[in-house]
A and B are shown apart, each in its own frame.
Chain A
Amino acid sequence: MKELTVISGKGGTGKTSITASIASLAERRIVIDADVDAANLFLTLEHNLIETEQFQGGYKAKINPELCIGCKECFKRCQFDAIFEEITENIIPKLSKQKDEQIRDNRISPKFAIDPIACEGCGVCVHFCPTVAISFERQICGEKYISTTANGPMIHARLGIAEENSGLLVSQLRQKAREMAKEQKIPLIITDGPPGIGCPVIASISNADALLIVTEPTLSAIHDMKRVIKLGRQMNAPIYVCINKADLNKETSENIKEFCVLNNIKFAGEIPFDRAVVESMKMGKALVTYSDGAASKAVKEVWENVKLFMGDTMERVF
């Protein structure tokens, strides 16, 4: 079994459109949408949802105001500015000047509360709270899905709004895919990676057999591609590059090709700008199943090249 991850560094270069197409071209495969906080693959790949599972992410602390004595232990220790004082005006309206005196005299105690968005779930406040006023519970941070598509399963997810642990979620999706691939003897896992170089990207590419980088002929995309190549090299994965919307700046596209040659990176092909890409997306279909135009043909060629390159890589033993 082999794992191919599609990444780009810069967002919006066409990772998902290309992944949807190669996932439709590959005979039998599992496809994963690892861009969990802005998942799009399901919009462009016809599928049937068959399984939903909750994603348990990290822990979050919560202060019980009944038990809080306002000792500030948690407030002083939190490194994430997640704890704030909650002396609410409803307790002592218009008495702000007397407030401090009242606190001093222990007539009222300030209460503290935790901003769940800022809380990292480190549990330091829980440990140090003298009155055990802070509860610490694992959060449901999203949902994991398994769907069926024409040529194999699709594993995707939805991370809750403003939730954390995208890297953990990606790792779980890939783990699930590996188990399914083993059970059903599926030879290939294709992962649609997130943009950037941070934790969900690292989780998407670690132990992948090959990386397909989708770039475009812009200064930004090249800059970002170089950073993601550096990351890929740290992970020892073979890297292939393809250029999307290559004809928007032919000169820059040539420079990218030259860069690949000079850096010993396999060049998988270039895809012209084509309105059919957006049209296919609007129809909820993969480009190659919707259109037979220039971009569709180019993507097919890219896939042929990637297959050829991947044949060269050593079979990884799992």
Chain B
Amino acid sequence: MIVTVASGKGGTGKTTVAVNLAVTAAEAITRTETIKATQLVIAPENPENFVELIDCDVEEPNAHLFVKPQNVVKQEISTMVPAVDMALCTFCGECEKICRFSAITMIAKKIMIFPEMCHSCKGCVMVCPTGAIKEGARVLGSLLTGQSSHGFNLTWGELRVGEAMSPPLIKQVKKTITCGSGRSNSISEDINNKLSIVDAPPGTSCPAVTTLRGSDFALLVAEETPFGLNDLALTVEALKKLGVPMGIVINRADNDQKGIIDDYAEKENIEIMQRIPFSREAAKICSKGLLLVNELPEMKQCFKELYLKIVSRITQNAKESKYKKTSTKTATSSSDNSIVGRS
């Protein structure tokens, strides 16, 4: 199952929640408790790698600062851009005509390529009648993987500074997700095997949407400010469009009193799954790149509760969707699934 930690507004604590949740989930004791809470049997063949953490905020990845992974393997990721073999080019101009992004143009008897404008649709390669356009490459950034001392793997992407397009790199990072294939209709199949926690980038446009597609559950980290509420509402709308179920965690909650986020959640019928209280101490721990669950016992409890709530919620969703799938195979639900299911 894929749990994506998201928020419209930046700096609400997505990474903090994601890493602390991953550490909590990876602890053996919580695994036993998970089974108890959800009546799930975790596949015995890989209990060690039950959890993985994927940081999809490729523009500004931060999870590795907290996880401090070992044995990091780095791999360069590129995307296709056209490369013209001038010996074969007949200057027919077909490539310029198909390109919607002005990435390839013909000026007099010269083909100009602007790699940074290219979306890698391969249209020019396909239309070229002489096969003069080959597949070149533009470096998007790197894909990195390492092991946490807490018993899980961290995978993250790092966009090359100066590269404008993060979604193609995010897609590559998401391909490493080992549980299922990011298809929501497959949750019931892989729910027992693996938990992938994904840290999403802020915003509600392409990078966030690319990350959230195909998630089984989205955990929205919200803060009780007008900015926080405004951006939370935008993300909720995006998730509705994507068909991803969601829950809210309020970070830096002032006290136990209900606030603007609670009112909104009630109106939208979204569950508030946890309130993480504000404290200067917690802020300081995070500022140093340390883990809340290791430093503060009350935080350990807080994240354990949150984790168990999420897992039982997803199990419930899976059971319900399985029921829905077998009982009513309506045209609408199947087309919904196919849209949501593609990542």
List residues of A whose CB falls within 8 A of some B CB: 9-13, 16, 35-38, 40, 43-44, 58-59, 77, 79-82, 84-86, 88-90, 93, 113, 115, 117-118, 120-124, 127-128, 159, 161-164, 166-167, 194-202, 216-220, 223-224, 227, 230-231, 234, 248-249, 252, 278, 281-282, 284
Contact = CB atoms under 8 A, between A and B. Distances in A.
Contacts, number: 202
B225 A278 contact: yes
Contacts of A90: 331
Given A219-B289, A252-B287, A124 B11 contact: no
Interface stretch (B25-33, B160-168, B189-197, B268-276): B160-168
Contact of A230 (B119, B161, B329): B161
Given A12-B10, A40-B227, A124-B122, A219 B65 contact: yes
A125 to B, nearest CB: 10
- Of A117, A163, A281, most B-chain CB atoms within 10 Å: A117
A223 B166 contact: no
B176 to A, nearest CB: 16
Contact of B60 (A82, A166, A197): A197
Nearest to B201: A196
Contacts of A58: 100
23 contacts: A11-B60, A11-B202, A12-B11, A40-B9, A40-B226, A80-B121, A84-B338, A117-B209, A123-B98, A124-B123, A128-B126, A162-B209, A162-B241, A195-B60, A196-B201, A197-B59, A197-B60, A220-B62, A223-B62, A230-B161, A249-B284, A249-B288, A281-B227
A195 B287 CA distance: 18
Interface in B161-208: 161-166, 201-208
A205 to B, nearest CB: 12
B215 interface: no
A219 B66 CA distance: 9
A198 B225 CA distance: 26
B122 A38 contact: no
Interface in B215-233: 225-227, 230-231
B121 A248 contact: no
Interface in B58-111: 59-60, 62, 65, 98, 100-101
A40 B335 CA distance: 35
